[in-house]
Structure 1
Amino acid sequence: MAQCLKLRPPLLHHSQALSLHSKKPSNLSKLRIRNCSVQPENAHKLVREVKEKLEKEHNSLPVGKNGRDDEEMILWFLKDRKFSVEDAVSKLNKAIKWRHEFGVSELSEESIKSVAETGKAYVHDHLDVYGRPVLIVEAAKHFPGEHKLNEDEKLCVFNIEKALKKLPAGKQEILCIIDLRGFRMQNSDMNFITFVFDAFYYYYPRRLSQVLFVDAPFIFNPLWQLVKPLLKSYASLVKFCSAKTVKEEYFKEDTIPANLRD
């Protein structure tokens, strides 16, 4: 199974790509894209270049959906790497290899049934008002050691995959809601938190739109002070808010998640 990776300096660079759509691209970002001379009409050419390099340099990688010849996946990673062929090949190699070793395609409702029954993480049945699939985590239901770390990781990846499959046409990112009501220090899990954010950076780049920390108790502050520096600019995706705010600003009356209805 994939081991938890440490966050690395590129995270700061990547966070620019992950910034909310309401922000305008920086001049530096525009300059980088211009320097790549990327035009819509030659994007397919770059996709072919990546495919050819992956076939030549990483021939052992699987093919098919989410494989080295998946043009949709290649284009997504090219965009993430600002259309740098070399950078896209490097990141795709790691991501595709990880998917194969982790067994992402083999994950199923049955394979994660035991840990899913805790109700600590799941995909909401409805989209938010911005058309984003919603991944919900009820932190008070998570107890490190209750399940093996790789089981929690499988639940995480299964839910990310499930959320991405719910993306409407034209939408590209998901919303994550972490319900912190009832959170205690025995629910804290630095290793798992690191895995989650690493997964989004290395394997699901630019898929996380925003993270809502709901009704964080005072005892959560020390943990946040430890986690925040590790996340670097990923922390800019985090918004602390109340359950009332989430219900009123992110959902319609008939689509509010059950855990937030009280």
Structure 2
Amino acid sequence: MALRLDRSLRHYFLGFVPKTSPIRSSKVSAHNPMWPSVESHKLIMEVKEKLKRDHPSLRVGKNGRDDEEMIFWFLKDRKFSVDDALKKLTIAIKWREEFGISELSEESVRSIAETGKAYVHDFLDVDDRPVLIVLASKHFPAMHDPVENEKLCVFLIEKALSKLPDGKEQILGIFDLQGFGSENADLKFLKFLINVFYYYYPKRLGEVLFVDAPFVFQPLWQLVKPLIKSYASLVRFCSADTVRKEYFTEATVPVRFKED
């Protein structure tokens, strides 16, 4: 039976509730103002019960079928459609299990991380977002194990999300394209990255910066852009100077983008 949407939830659909409404509480409560409404709590319970009934083998606990914060996030992503959220959640929870996310650690990705191709910045940006930085010129698909690349990617996403301050929901991705050459192009990995953020970490990327993109990068972007569809609006091509002046303070700017 369809549930009637109360005023708070109608406001969400109409855009009056900001997309960055905090959801960091680990427990759903009708008395918690950080959640949109009591009605959405009913939807969370509906998803939770259906997952328990139809997919009892799915793990429980953090990022499991009974994780109400995760359920709420996927409901938001699917515009509060229970069926759509169920489908996407089931895929995401199974993927986390199969990928072995709980087994990822600093030690398990150390060898590929030592290439310096990607890392989580020590400081937040000016909008209090954790920052994931990729140095494209250090990525060599012909030399690096693609599975290890994927593990590093997911580990760093998890690490960035763990640094989210209360009330913040999204991270900033920076692709430093200084020195990028054809030997660094990797369409297969980019497709993996797109799928990861669409299916398993929906709407966690607040913005993506392509910094100092050389001409040789353009053909790759033309191949990737149709794949990400509306998410292309998250991408901003900019200079290192823009990164330095608009996204960080003098004290927090990544060393890569500091003035000489």
TM-score (normalised: structure 1): 0.85
What corresponds to 1:172 in structure 2? 169
What corresponds to 1:162 in structure 2? 159
What corresponds to 2:141 in structure 1? 144
Equivalent residue for 2:103, pick from 98, 103, 106: 106
The SS at the match of 1:130 is coil
- 5+ long unaligned stretches in structure 1: 1-26, 34-38
| Equivalent-residue separation in structure 1 for 2:75 and 2:222 (angstroms) | 33
Equivalent residue for 2:70, pick from 68, 73, 90: 73
Equivalent residue for 1:94, pick from 85, 91, 94: 91
Q: Does 1:214 align with 2:211?
A: yes
What corresponds to 1:243 in structure 2? 240
Equivalent residue for 2:41, pick from 40, 44, 57: 44
| Equivalent-residue separation in structure 2 for 1:70 and 1:244 (angstroms) | 41
| Equivalent-residue separation in structure 2 for 1:197 and 1:211 (angstroms) | 12
The SS at the match of 2:215 is coil
Give the partner amino acid of 2:66: D
C-alpha displacement of 1:247: 0.2
The SS at the match of 1:254 is coil
C-alpha displacement of 1:70: 0.5
Counting only pairs closer than 5 Å after superposition, residues 16-35 of structure 1 correspond to structure 2 as 30=14
Give the partner amino acid of 2:206: S
What corresponds to 1:228 in structure 2? 225
Give the partner amino acid of 2:37: P
Q: Deviations over 1:69-105 (max 9, x none)?
A: 0011011111111111111111100000000000011
| Equivalent-residue separation in structure 1 for 2:256 and 2:107 (angstroms) | 24
Q: Does 1:59 align with 2:56?
A: yes
Q: Does 1:186 align with 2:183?
A: yes
| Equivalent-residue separation in structure 2 for 1:241 and 1:72 (angstroms) | 34
| Equivalent-residue separation in structure 2 for 1:218 and 1:88 (angstroms) | 40
| Equivalent-residue separation in structure 2 for 1:232 and 1:186 (angstroms) | 26
| Equivalent-residue separation in structure 1 for 2:106 and 2:85 (angstroms) | 31
| CA RMSD between the two structures | 1.6
The SS at the match of 1:128 is coil
| Equivalent-residue separation in structure 1 for 2:211 and 2:87 (angstroms) | 36
C-alpha displacement of 1:126: 0.2
| Equivalent-residue separation in structure 2 for 1:238 and 1:196 (angstroms) | 14
Task: Give the number of the structure with larger relative contact order, counting CA–CA contacts within 8 Å between residues 6 or more apart.
Answer: 1
| Equivalent-residue separation in structure 2 for 1:193 and 1:259 (angstroms) | 23
- 5+ long unaligned stretches in structure 2: 1-10, 18-35
C-alpha displacement of 1:43: 1.4
| Equivalent-residue separation in structure 2 for 1:77 and 1:227 (angstroms) | 25
C-alpha displacement of 1:30: 3.2
| Equivalent-residue separation in structure 1 for 2:199 and 2:96 (angstroms) | 11
TM-score (normalised: structure 2): 0.85
